[in-house]
């Protein structure tokens, strides 16, 4: 533990300015431009973002005061309205990536307008399951932040600071939500904000918190707290995805590799990804939620929500995002992913394109 703290301290001293560890940096964008020219699949996926960005130029932001998702059924009016409003997040990312690749101040202006609208109206409550939806917004802002004027940057920075502060305040020791998937998402959100803003308090919270969460949340056999609590592979993936996202950021920024870190009880992200793979390949099967200890899982099943049927089979498609993120650390997972999808395509999704060009 002392060694980890020393490494963290040393690297935090080196992190200065806006280095772009959350979104693609200048080197990554340069590689992406070349990849789009040379690879038809990467070009096709980027083309989808470009199309969305062009459409967004003629659309208005639809921010909400509060994102409502966690703990609400899919037909709840506030959740429906939030899902509609959160379409802005994909638009913001599309505008940002279009601007970085194609240029054009109209993309930058539109992305800034969307960001400012959300920064002005949205008031986060420290709920990580709601705030985790902001991934695309945070990646986009990381790419665009150096090019915004001081006033706009201050407005958006203030909003992000409020998000991270609320998340840290909501982490109450001893509560289940300070140990389960909530905390995995909380660490990711605070870390993303911390590295975007170069905020030492937020970076410390994430860098020191991830190894502790690995030890608390993951088991030495590869299973996770949430898999056992919810009896669902869905929640195993939902735990790993934020951990992997944060681990990528930390590795880019500091060189610390939390993917292969082994905790005192023998748990690791890598071990938990490897444990998951047989369920994706079909070697193992699992009926979801049969022994879940959480009442909300029963409520979603009664509401006939897709993917939440008690005893229903886990769809391997819902685990592919985990492998795409893990492939940033180890290209061997790309081979597993291709085998599961029965494809020879190296770029089955945008994350794999990003992996290729993200130093």
Position 287 scores a pLDDT of: 96
Residue 263's pLDDT is 98
Provide the residue range defining the domain that includes 104.
Answer: 2-357
* Cβ contacts of 200 within 8 Å, gap of 6 or more: 12, 194
What would the two tokens of residue 284 be?
Answer: 């193992």
| Total count of domains within the chain | 1
What is the pLDDT, as a whole number, of residue 2? 43
| DSSP states along 155-186 | HHHHHHHHHHHHHHHH--TTSGGGTSHHHHHH
- The string of pLDDT tens digits covering residues 159-179 is 999 999 999 999 988 889 999
Mean pLDDT by 10 residues, the chain (359 residues): 43 53 97 97 97 98 96 94 97 98 97 98 96 98 98 98 97 90 98 98 98 98 97 97 98 98 98 97 95 96 94 94 98 93 92 95
d(CA 191, CA 197): 10
What pLDDT score does 13 carry?
39
pLDDT of amino acid 12: 42
pLDDT at residue 18, rounded to an integer: 61
CATH code at 198? 1.50.10.100
Give 185-242 as a DSSP string.
Answer: HHHHHHHHHHHHHT-HHHHHHHHHHHHHHHHHHB-TTS-BHHHHHHT-HHHHHHHHHH
- pLDDT digit string, tens, across residues 8-24: 443 443 344 567 999 99
Question: Helices marked H in the chain — which ranges?
Answer: 2-14, 26-38, 40-56, 77-85, 87-102, 105-121, 128-131, 135-144, 150-170, 181-197, 200-217, 225-230, 233-254, 269-281, 295-302, 320-329, 332-341, 350-357
């Amino acid at each position: 533990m002392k060694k980890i703290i020393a490494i963290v301290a040393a690297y935090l001293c080196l992190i200065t300015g806006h280095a772009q560890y959350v979104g693609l940096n200048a080197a990554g964008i340069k590689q992406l431009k070349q990849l789009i020219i040379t690879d038809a699949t990467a070009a096709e996926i980027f083309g989808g973002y470009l199309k969305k960005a062009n459409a967004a130029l003629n659309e208005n932001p639809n921010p909400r005061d509060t994102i409502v998702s966690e703990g609400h059924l899919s037909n709840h009016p506030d959740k429906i309205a939030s899902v509609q409003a959160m379409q802005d997040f994909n638009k913001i990312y599309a505008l940002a990536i279009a601007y970085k690749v194609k240029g054009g101040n109209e993309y930058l202006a539109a992305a800034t307008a969307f960001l400012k609208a959300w920064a002005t109206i949205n008031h986060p409550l420290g709920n990580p399951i709601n705030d985790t939806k902001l991934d695309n917004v945070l990646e986009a802002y990381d790419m665009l932040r150096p090019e915004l004027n001081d006033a706009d940057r201050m407005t958006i920075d203030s909003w992000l600071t409020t998000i991270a502060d609320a998340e840290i305040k909501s982490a109450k020791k001893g509560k289940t939500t300070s140990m389960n998937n909530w905390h995995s998402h909380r660490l990711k959100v605070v870390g993303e904000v911390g590295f975007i803003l170069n905020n030492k308090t937020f970076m410390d919270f994430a860098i020191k918190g991830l190894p502790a969460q690995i030890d608390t949340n993951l088991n030495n056999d590869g299973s996770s707290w949430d898999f056992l609590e919810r009896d669902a592979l869905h929640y195993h993936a939902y735990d790993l995805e934020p951990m992997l996202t944060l681990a990528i950021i930390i590795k880019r920024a500091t060189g610390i590799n939390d993917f292969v870190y082994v905790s005192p009880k023998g748990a690791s992200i890598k071990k938990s990804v490897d444990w998951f793979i047989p369920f994706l390949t079909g070697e193992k099967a699992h009926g979801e939620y049969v022994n879940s200890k959480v009442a909300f899982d029963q409520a979603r099943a009664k509401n006939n929500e897709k993917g939440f049927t008690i005893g229903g089979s886990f769809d391997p498609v819902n685990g592919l995002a985990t492998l795409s993120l893990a492939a940033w650390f180890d290209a061997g997972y790309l081979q597993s992913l291709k085998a599961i999808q029965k494809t020879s395509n190296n770029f089955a999704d945008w994350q794999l394109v990003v992996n290729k060009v993200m130093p």
